[in-house]
Amino acid sequence: MRPIPLVTVNQMRAIEREGDARGVSYAEMMERAGRGVAQVVMRLPHTFPRLSVLGLIGSGNNGGDGLVALEALAQAGWKARAYLVRPRPAEDALLQRVRKAGVEIGEFAHDPGFVRLDEWLSASDVLLDSVLGTGIQLPLKAEVERVLAHIRDLVGLPFVVAVDCPSGVDCDSGEASPAVIPAHLTVCMDAVKAGLLRFPAAELTGQLAVVPLGLPTDLTALQEVRDFVACGAGVREWLPARPASAHKGTFGTVLGVAGCEDYIGAAGLAAEAAYRSGAGLVRMAVIPTVRNALVSRLSEVTWLSLPEEQGSIAPQAAQIILAHLERVTALFIGPGFGTAPAVGGFVQEFFNLAIDLPPMVVDADGLRLLTKIEKWHKKLPSPSVLTPHPGEMSALTGLSTSEIQADRPGTARRFAAQWGHVVVLKGAFTVVASPDGTVYHIPVASAALARAGSGDVLTGLIAGLLAQGIAPFPAAITAAWVHATAGLIAEQLIGQSASVLAGDILRAVPQALTRLYQRKYIHDPMWIVG
């Protein structure tokens, strides 16, 4: 499938303008957008007993999308109403069409006390927000803000579906009017707008869906887009096949080098995650203290004992590991290392001696220790996968965390290209950058993932997919998607994010993968219609 672009408002205008010039008229785009929204509403996994929808309609193209959606829903048997927040011309062909389809029409200009609006809201299952589109400028006009604020402050709103974006959101900066109605679902047209993955807008968009507009895929404006949003349907295509004739060698061998006496759990989380992602065999190279603590819990893991120095991996362990790489198809290094002098010596010795390493993930303290090695990025197999959080990215780059957070995609893109490795910059809306400048955004921001050990689970997932033969960039995207989805599942199962532990995320990985293998994308944070 075609990747989902993440675009600025100007990029989207250029795409639509070129699409119009290539034969897909603006009117046809509106038809496809509106009918796509209606299709989304009809496919929602919710029970709507009254099949009643109210559309908040603006005066522009976004309002036009909403009217087309209402017409399609009315034709499908829904009770549909349109409330004109801004006036539209009396001769508007779309108004004539919805009237003919049986859509009831009201107007704010004739309802200053919101009597009709409140009555219709109380009788509706779904509220379509199609007042303002992607090109708005803040602050909003007073009359529009008054209507939106009135609705936002009501208790017991219907299920809110925003058309392209919640009205009142700046789709470039992510700024938002205080009157924005929070959406349960935002249905984007052909591409996700960059501002929807920035705060505060990100907290107002709900789940995301994308309606294809059927534009030619070879548009120059589309080819110039370098940012994309990961989705279940996309990462499903990267998952390895699981033939019934397979044996454990089919799915590769992971070797993990991790842990110290103070951070034992990191090694266990990463090892089990590598297995849960589908790897055939996971072997852990650890000091005896770590092995003895984990062996009874991880009965499937095999072990390679390393020499220990003051509770950490000793420098002489490098030669032992390098002598046991013959059948290893992926290697991860770093979780739970600590930063003791001994393990620092190990890292230097390992990368100074290493030749022809298998695909690799470097995480946690392993990243910090890399910075002690001159031209470290040239000593890793290319491309390796680096998984820093902002603090670790700061150690690798010399930038402050505030500089990194101010432009997360740009920072990841810049250093992925400079180092020649895949960079997974963790955090809200994790970004995965390829050395060629392509960046994928994971459309999930959840406090459930902000927990010690969460990154160790991600490391194991990436390594497990690498072991199965997936290339580093798609392996990193797929693992980050599964990891984020597992966090959401864990939060849902527990009931809130505060009590979610890294182990809960790990235990939810099978359910996240099941959604991919069974193509249950409608439950994902981002899904495609059509």
Instruction: For residue 69, give the CATH number of its domain.
Output: 3.40.50.10260
127 and 259 assigned to the same domain = no
Provide, rounded to the nearest whole percent, the portion of the chain with pLDDT above 90.
Answer: 94
Q: pLDDT at position 45, please? A: 86
| Angstrom distance (rounded) from CA 321 to CA 393 | 27
Q: Does residue 193 register a pLDDT over 70?
A: yes
| Angstrom distance (rounded) from CA 268 to CA 460 | 10
| Angstrom distance (rounded) from CA 272 to CA 259 | 14
User: C-alpha distances in angstroms, 164 versus 77, 97, 185?
Assistant: 24, 22, 10
Q: pLDDT at position 258, please? A: 98
Question: Using an 8 Å Cβ cutoff, are 368 and 292 in contact?
Answer: no
338 and 203 assigned to the same domain = no
23 and 69 assigned to the same domain = yes
In a domain, 83, yes or no: yes
- pLDDT tens track for 279-334: 999 999 999 999 999 999 999 999 999 999 999 999 999 999 999 999 999 999 99
**Span 363-378, average pLDDT:** 96
Q: pLDDT at position 235, please? A: 95
Q: pLDDT at position 93, please? A: 95
Q: pLDDT at position 479, please? A: 98
User: What CATH number has the domain bearing residue 277?
Assistant: 3.40.1190.20
Q: Does residue 7 register a pLDDT over 80?
A: yes
Burial of 153 (0-12, 13-18, 19+ CB in 10 A): exposed
Q: What would you report as the CA-atom Rg of the chain, rounded to the nearest whole angstrom?
A: 26
Q: Does residue 412 register a pLDDT over 70?
A: yes
221 and 250 assigned to the same domain = no
Containing domain of residue 95, as a range?
4-225
Q: Which of 166, 200, 225 is the last residue of a domain?
A: 225
In a domain, 136, yes or no: yes
Q: pLDDT at position 523, please? A: 75
Question: Using an 8 Å Cβ cutoff, are 229 and 205 in contact?
Answer: no
Q: Using DSSP, state whether 408 is helix, strand or coil.
A: helix
Average pLDDT for the chain: 96
Q: Does residue 135 register a pLDDT over 80?
A: yes
Sheet of 227-229, strand order: 192-193, 4-7, 227-229, 439-441, 431-433, 422-425, 385-387, 360-363, 330-333, 253-257, 281-286, 302-305
Rounded (5°) CA angle 309-310-314: 20
pTM: 0.96
72 and 166 assigned to the same domain = yes
Q: pLDDT at position 394, please? A: 98
In a domain, 230, yes or no: no
Q: Does residue 165 register a pLDDT over 70?
A: yes
- pLDDT tens track for 46-90: 889 999 999 999 999 999 999 999 999 999 999 999 999 999 998
The tokens describing 420, both together, are 């020649």
**Span 137-150, average pLDDT:** 95
Among 59-63, 88-92, 172-176, 386-390, the least confident range: 88-92
In a domain, 528, yes or no: no
Q: Which of 225, 245, 268 is the last residue of a domain?
A: 225
In a domain, 231, yes or no: no
The tokens describing 259, both together, are 């842990």
Q: Does residue 530 register a pLDDT over 60?
A: no
Domain count, the chain: 2
pLDDT confidence band for 529 (50 / 70 / 90): low
The tokens describing 37, both together, are 């929204």
218 and 352 assigned to the same domain = no
Q: pLDDT at position 79, please? A: 98
354 and 459 assigned to the same domain = yes
Question: Using an 8 Å Cβ cutoff, are 66 and 56 in contact?
Answer: yes
In a domain, 529, yes or no: no
In a domain, 530, yes or no: no
**Amino acid letter at 218?**
D
269 and 331 assigned to the same domain = yes
Q: Which of 179, 198, 225 is the last residue of a domain?
A: 225
DSSP 91-112: T-HHHHHHHHTT-EEEEGGG-T
Total residues belonging to the chain: 530
The tokens describing 461, both together, are 């997932």
Q: pLDDT at position 520, please? A: 83
User: C-alpha distances in angstroms, 37 versus 16, 34, 374, 402, 525?
Assistant: 18, 5, 54, 38, 17
Which residue's entry shows tokens 């249905």?
A: 187
pLDDT confidence band for 218 (50 / 70 / 90): very high
**Span 392-411, average pLDDT:** 97
**Amino acid letter at 341?**
P
Burial of 118 (0-12, 13-18, 19+ CB in 10 A): middle
**Span 388-395, average pLDDT:** 98
Q: pLDDT at position 526, please? A: 75
Q: pLDDT at position 519, please? A: 86
180 and 271 assigned to the same domain = no
**Amino acid letter at 32?**
R
| Angstrom distance (rounded) from CA 15 to CA 378 | 39
Neighbours of 356 (CB within 10 A): 7
Q: pLDDT at position 52, please? A: 98
Q: Does residue 468 register a pLDDT over 80?
A: yes
181 and 328 assigned to the same domain = no
Q: pLDDT at position 178, please? A: 97
Question: Using an 8 Å Cβ cutoff, are 330 and 270 in contact?
Answer: no
In a domain, 337, yes or no: yes
453 and 340 assigned to the same domain = yes
- Do the strands 330-333 and 253-257 form a parallel or antiparallel pair, or are they unpaired? parallel
| Angstrom distance (rounded) from CA 24 to CA 101 | 25
Provide, rounded to the nearest whole percent, the portion of the chain with pLDDT above 70.
Answer: 99
206 and 134 assigned to the same domain = yes
